[in-house]
Amino acid sequence: MDKRYKVQVKDLHKSYGNNEVLQGINLNVAPNEVVCMIGPSGSGKSTFLRCLNRLEVPNSGHVYVDGYDIADPKVNINKVRENIGMVFQHFNLFPNMSVLENITLAPTQLGKASKEEAKRDAMHYLELVGLKSKADVPPRPSPVDRSNG
């Protein structure tokens, strides 16, 4: 384990029966680094994310978050999860909130950032992925208002 990293993964393996989904994954993520995983359906992206958050237990290997081995039963996984943000393939946003409000909710509710800091960071990342113009848009189009007729 190297404390220079926010997340460190060493030789991570995960199988479902004979299907070895993760085959010796190694990864180091520095503080404030943003990492995106892309790949075809079934390539193990969601399984990997679930292992990083101990939503799934690996068959072997190590995952360290903030220096804690998350496989250690003595680790308070809920406390560790307070400092992890992930978006899964099938994510759910609050439909009554804009994209920006959805993005800033967790950091402000957890006291990790003021509303201004969270908005600044969110706008930075939205711009980075080409979605800045969608900040004030609801995640899904509003249902058609049928009350007028």
Mean pLDDT for 42-64 is 91
Better-scored residue on pLDDT, 37 or 92 = 37
Mean pLDDT for 18-34 is 92
Give whole-number Cα distances, 64 to 8, 20, 43, 51, in Å.
5, 21, 22, 11
Question: What is the torsional sign of CA 44, 49, 52, 56?
Answer: negative
Kindly tell me if the per-residue pLDDT of 54 is higher than 80. yes
Q: Of 43, 59, 40, which is closest to residue 51 (Cα–Cα)? A: 59
Average pLDDT taken over every residue of the chain: 85
Mean pLDDT for 25-31 is 94
Is the pTM value of this prediction over 0.85? Answer: no
pLDDT at residue 81 in the model:
84
pLDDT-based confidence at residue 90 (cuts at 50, 70, 90) = low
Residues 6+ apart with CB under 8 A from 20: 13, 14
Spans of all domains in the chain: 1-91, 92-142
pLDDT at residue 141 in the model:
58
Better-scored residue on pLDDT, 139 or 20 = 20
pLDDT-based confidence at residue 145 (cuts at 50, 70, 90) = very low
pLDDT at residue 7 in the model:
93
CATH superfamily placement of domain 1-91: P-loop containing nucleotide triphosphate hydrolases (3.40.50.300)
Better-scored residue on pLDDT, 140 or 36 = 36
Q: Of 6, 20, 84, which is closest to residue 50 (Cα–Cα)? A: 84
